[in-house]
Structure 1
């Protein structure tokens, strides 16, 4: 695996299976912002169907999904292998860290303090 971009931590890594990257757990830890606000990237080959238990069904397609919050997907990328998905997840993490991925437009109800902190951490300024 490539070295993770600054601010990202390997949160979970199942051999041959799911991997989770977490962004700035030092900031999103209940004392500053709710932990569910911690951006994460999930890598796995589970079904993306929107029905109960579907994610437990394995597929041949691997996904790297950037979540801003548990139900807020900022970006989904598909890959043919786990190895490609792991590299893709690292690239996705770098793009997020570099402020290249927008998140404000994903919300119907703005969260100004949260957005301001993400802007500060990712160098987006007044994005």
Structure 2
């Protein structure tokens, strides 16, 4: 499974050779005209430390993480794998699940963004 199998609603935003990968969901819709730029769902594949200390993410580890964010501070899920390839597989599975409407984004919010949720419902298959 490779990035060429990415669901069409997702795009490769950044891909570093043998490094991190950032996938973005529908940047054509979440373009800051109607929604804040932060409202761009993303999946990060990284091998940096997950410790909250400043600069910790710069420390490379033997573990790779596939993390889905609804916004920079709103983490929806994260899985840790032993290799970049395994983390990329998880990222592709998460992208597909998100596109199919199989990931609950509402539960991660303390203060709902109703217009944002409505747009995600429309774009994903949650409205079916």
| TM-score, normalisation: structure 2 | 0.95
Q: Does 1:93 align with 2:95?
A: yes
| TM-score, normalisation: structure 1 | 0.96
Q: Does 1:121 align with 2:126?
A: no
Write out the 4+ residue segments of structure 1 that deviate beyond 6 Å after TM superposition.
none
Q: Name structure 2 gaps, 5 residues minimum.
A: none
Q: Does 1:27 align with 2:29?
A: yes
TM superposition shift of 1:51: 1.0
> After superposition, where does 1:1-127 map in structure 2 within 5 Å?
1-2=2-3, 3-125=5-127
Cα offsets for 1:72-93 (capped at 9, x unmatched): 0001011110011111101110
TM superposition shift of 1:32: 2.2
**What is the number of residues matched between the two proteins?**
126
Q: Name structure 1 gaps, 5 residues minimum.
A: none
